[in-house]
Amino acid sequence: MQQSGTSRYAETYALWRDDPSAFWGAAAKDIDWIRPAATVFDPDAGVYGRWFSGASANTCHNAVDRHVAAGRGAQAALIYDSPVTGAKRTISYAELQDETRVLGAVLADMGVKKGDRVVIYMPMVSEAVIAMLACARIGAIHSVVFGGFAAKELATRIEDAEPKVILAASCGIEPSRVVAYKPLLDLAITMSAFKPDGCLVLQRPEGPCTLVEGRDLDWAASCAAARAAGKGADCVEVAATDPLYVLYTSGTTGKPKGVVRDSGGHMVALRWSMENLYGIAPGEVFWAASDIGWVVGHSYIVYAPLLMGCTSIVYEGKPVGTPDPGAFWRVIEEHKVVALFTAPTALRAIKKEDPDCTFRQGRDMGHFRTLFLAGERADPDTVKWAEEKLGVPVVDHWWQTETGWAIAGNPVGLGLLPVKLGSPTVPMPGYDVQIVDEAAKPVPAGTMGSIVIKLPLPPGCLPTLWQQDERFTESYLADYPGYYKTADAGFMDDDGYVFVMGRTDDIINVAGHRLSTGGMEEVIASHPDVAECAVIGVKDELKGEVPCGFVVLKAGERRAPDVIEKELVGLVRDRIGPVAAFKLAVTVNRLPKTRSGKILRGTMKKIADHDAWSMPATIDDPVVLEEIEGVLKERGIG
Ligand code: COA
Ligand code: AMP
């Protein structure tokens, strides 16, 4: 393992490896427990064991109340900065405590009890963060759905989570348009076989909505009434193994996976990561420029910064166009941000519009220490550009919705290790990362293989999928017994650095957003004129990858292919949402297949990406791939 003169990484990793229970038991001392764990790790509980069995605590208490009690009441907990509306608001820890108490009481009045699910369908406003914390406060399990998903996706999640109540905003604001959320919510509830008891709706002046009588309550009025009545919810005791939230993420089919996060291990892991991976101290300002609809938002906009007693930025805007490519530097200067966490795609967007980073000039960013990147492979060009223009370490780290925090990273808090471009550096304590071949045998350093993690996963990682232990086992544990399958492929070098090269399944990464091509294929195949289809991710300079759908139309179809292609683009946008960024549908005569009928997606991708490719030996008809190459050239795709 790589040693560095000043980094305490190697000794820290060894400390974990020698005695994981002692390591996490020590980390757990930074959390306020109601009842501490009798056993740090119970190998016999749950699917692969459970962390902190028997312990109890409350996450909202640890994220909010304990800081107020410790004298941080006047410190800013959240800074809401919304260039799309011009609004800014600072919420102190004391105010956050009051807001979560009141909203917790409103939820309780709506019938929400410990263990009930609450779906949150909201844009990046401070109320959304308060909503998550209020759920945690009363022991309810939140499930946030990203605003860029369509009604059908929301309906699928409502059906699976069976929420007692849904919290929503009337609209979200994209630079080009106001997105009316409420009609999407109404449609989703109509589509879903499961109906919530009620909805609490935040009216935004940019796009107010009509409330459904008998079902919907007005957010502001309900909170005002609860406050006037002196109501406030206290923090409820929950088991460390109780779920804090369920977050749906793309699987290989159209049915998303409900990743469960348990409350105790989550707090321990995130608190540890803030100090040791991100190198952040209480009172500092941390900014994850993501969205609460994604895991990055859950972990590093909401929970980790607050558990650490930091100030977290809630940013409703984009890296470019709101109003210019200097937006990030403005926020860093204005709010004294010490570390920014974003996706490489955001930097590519800035670099494209402002290659010389002129918008950074004149900004006082002396306090800014580190830029963290995750969500997709950090391409060396972008990393080098950022290092040069910002003059701070650019730290790539690799993780997944499932893990909730970094599998591999460069631990700033322990002392940076030498950076190797293209690598998110080394496994974090808790993760025994290995590269294996198809027979689950370890491969030598430098050899590509499947990246797996030896069980048990560390605290903070998913213990299972929501009410689907079997699907959890099948999806993640069955292929490599004793290991968790990350579904990423890559290699490790002689120094133990991990290189993550891509997915082994049909998940693609579009602008840092994880999407299922299988899900898109299901939508396209439902079009009456489509005989068969295949969706692949093709290289995109800005978004990393964008989906491209190849369709074979039914014989005898008389309508023009370009008309049907437009319908397909609309269909995916309607069913999955604009976030899918599905804009390329290409009609072909046939799909390339092996003799056994398997579609040759990998070769199609290589052709579309202009990578070197060779004719697969198993191909049924070589002419088909040549046809595809011709069509792509004609259409200028790739
Ligand atoms: N509600 C409704 N619609 C949304 C939405 C939301 N919360 N978020 C995105 N959309 C829409 C966008 O308006 C866009 O619609 P369009 O097709 O009509 O233009 C579509 O979904 C795709 O959005 P996005 O992926 O944001 O692409 P973009 O072209 O608008 O912007 C970037 C490109 C690179 C600037 C943008 O993707 C970005 O900032 N990415 C940062 C990555 C990130 O936050 N990753 C999260 C994990 S760290
Ligand atoms: P998500 O669950 O949305 O966080 O997406 C997780 C997937 O994104 C991973 O399985 C990887 O394929 C990819 N990913 C995330 N971070 C990185 C990174 N730093 N380097 C390479 N791939 C990454």
- Give me the DSSP letters along 589-623: S---BBTTS-B-HHHHHHHHTT------TTBS-TH
Radius of gyration of the chain (CA): 24
Residue 250's pLDDT band (cuts 50, 70, 90)? confident
CA of residue 177 to ligand 1 center, whole Å: 12
CA of residue 510 to ligand 1 center, whole Å: 9
pLDDT value at residue 3: 45
Domain spanning 4-317+397-490: CATH superfamily: ANL, N-terminal domain (3.40.50.12780)
Summarize the confidence of residues 249-269 as an average pLDDT: 92
Strand partners, 168: 121, 201
Quote the pTM value: 0.96
Q: Which residue has the tokens 């200028």?
A: 636
Residue 247 near ligand 2, beta carbon < 6 Å: no
> Rounded to whole angstroms, how far apart are CA atoms 412 and 183?
45
For 320-327, the CB contacts below 8 A with 24+ separation are: 320/349, 320/350, 320/352, 320/353, 321/175, 322/83, 322/84, 322/175, 323/83, 324/353, 324/354, 324/359, 325/349, 325/350, 325/353, 325/354, 325/359, 326/354, 326/359, 326/360, 326/363, 327/83
Give the type of residue at 111. G
pLDDT value at residue 2: 41
- pLDDT per position as a tens digit, 6-25: 899 999 999 999 999 999 99
Index of the ligand 1 atom closest to the CA of residue 295: 47
Among 595, 492, 586, CA closest to 536:
586
Summarize the confidence of residues 241-266 as an average pLDDT: 93
- pLDDT per position as a tens digit, 291-300: 999 999 999 9
Summarize the confidence of residues 398-426 as an average pLDDT: 97
Q: pLDDT at residue 402 above 70?
A: yes
Cβ–Cβ < 8 Å for 258, 246: yes
Backbone angles phi, psi at 187, to 5 degrees: -65, -40
Q: Which two tokens stand for residue 36?
A: 């501490």
Residue 255's pLDDT band (cuts 50, 70, 90)? confident
Cβ–Cβ < 8 Å for 59, 246: no
Cβ–Cβ < 8 Å for 158, 192: yes
- pLDDT per position as a tens digit, 147-202: 999 999 999 999 999 999 999 999 999 999 999 999 999 999 999 999 999 999 99
Residue 5's pLDDT band (cuts 50, 70, 90)? low
- pLDDT per position as a tens digit, 21-63: 999 999 999 999 999 999 999 999 999 999 999 999 999 999 9
Q: Which residue has a Cα nearest atom 10 of ligand 1?
A: 148
Domain with CATH 3.30.300.30 in the chain: 511-634
CA of residue 107 to ligand 2 center, whole Å: 34
Index of the ligand 1 atom closest to the CA of residue 124: 7
Residue 512 near ligand 1, beta carbon < 6 Å: yes
pLDDT value at residue 241: 98
CA of residue 309 to ligand 1 center, whole Å: 30
- pLDDT per position as a tens digit, 95-122: 999 999 999 999 999 999 999 999 999 9
CATH 3.40.50.1700 for domain 511-634, yes or no, is no
Quote the crossing angle between the two packed helices 126-138 and 93-109, to the nearest 10°: 60
Residue 432's pLDDT band (cuts 50, 70, 90)? very high
Summarize the confidence of residues 280-289 as an average pLDDT: 98
- pLDDT per position as a tens digit, 198-215: 999 999 999 999 999 999
- pLDDT per position as a tens digit, 462-489: 999 999 999 999 999 999 999 999 999 9
Summarize the confidence of residues 379-402 as an average pLDDT: 97
pLDDT value at residue 638: 66
Q: What does DSSP say about strands 76-82 and 87-92: parallel, antiparallel, or unpaired?
A: antiparallel
Residue 511 near ligand 1, beta carbon < 6 Å: yes
pLDDT value at residue 1: 40
Among the listed ranges 305-309, 337-341, 502-506, which one has the minimum average pLDDT value?
Answer: 502-506
Among 284, 311, 305, 371, CA closest to 89:
311
pLDDT value at residue 345: 97
Index of the ligand 1 atom closest to the CA of residue 577: 21
| φ/ψ bin of 49: left (φ > 0), alpha (ψ from -120 to 50), beta (otherwise) | left
Domain with CATH 3.40.50.12780 in the chain: 4-317+397-490
Whether the ω angle into residue 458 lies within 30 degrees of 0, i.e. cis, is no
Cβ–Cβ < 8 Å for 217, 211: yes
- pLDDT per position as a tens digit, 564-615: 999 999 999 999 999 999 999 999 999 999 999 999 999 999 999 999 998 8
> Which residues 6+ apart lie within 8 Å of 297 measured at CB?
144, 288, 290, 291
Q: pLDDT at residue 449 above 90?
A: yes
Residue 173 near ligand 1, beta carbon < 6 Å: no
Q: Please give the mean pLDDT across all residues of the chain.
A: 96
Index of the ligand 2 atom closest to the CA of residue 398: 19
Give the type of residue at 566. K
Counting ligands in written order, the one closest to the CA of 144 is 1
Summarize the confidence of residues 616-627 as an average pLDDT: 90
Counting ligands in written order, the one closest to the CA of 510 is 1
CA of residue 397 to ligand 2 center, whole Å: 9
